[in-house]
Amino acid sequence: NAGVMQNPRHLVRRRGQEARLRCSPMKGHSHVYWYRQLPEEGLKFMVYLQKENIIDESGMPKERFSAEFPKEGPSILRIQQVVRGDSAAYFCASSPDRNEKLFFGSGTQLSVL
């Protein structure tokens, strides 16, 4: 049973470009979370999605950031017009139910030049 799969593992973008981060949850998991880890800071909640629905996006910046979890395919975290401050590790986690424990993926390290 494969774990939570994230790709790419590393992503380098120049300022102003778009970043797309992908997350495939564990088999049987329909709940997906995105967390961001800035250098020297703890993991910060960004967004919680179920299939085709955004349930809570209170941790996501209002501009440039969006997330989706379509009926088919991985969850996507999209960052438009990236800035240097977006450089961070972005972790996806999944769970089989809203109250169940989270399984984290290996993360995507985004570097903005």
Q: Which residues bind another protein (CB under 8 A)?
A: 4, 31, 33, 35, 40-45, 48, 55-56, 91, 93, 95, 98-107
> Minimal distance in Å, beta carbon 109 to another protein?
8
Buried b (16+ CB within 10 A) or exposed e, 85-95: ebbbbbbbbbb
> Minimal distance in Å, beta carbon 16 to another protein?
28
Omega within 30 of 0 (cis) for the link into 8: yes
- Dump the DSSP string for 89-102: EEEEEEESSTTSPP
- Pick the closest to residue 60 from 73, 42, 78, 75 (CA basis): 78
Q: Kindly tell me which of 20 and 103 has the beta carbon lying closer to another protein.
A: 103
Q: Kindly tell me which of 62 and 99 has the beta carbon lying closer to another protein.
A: 99
> Minimal distance in Å, beta carbon 3 to another protein?
8
Q: Kindly tell me which of 14 and 99 has the beta carbon lying closer to another protein.
A: 99
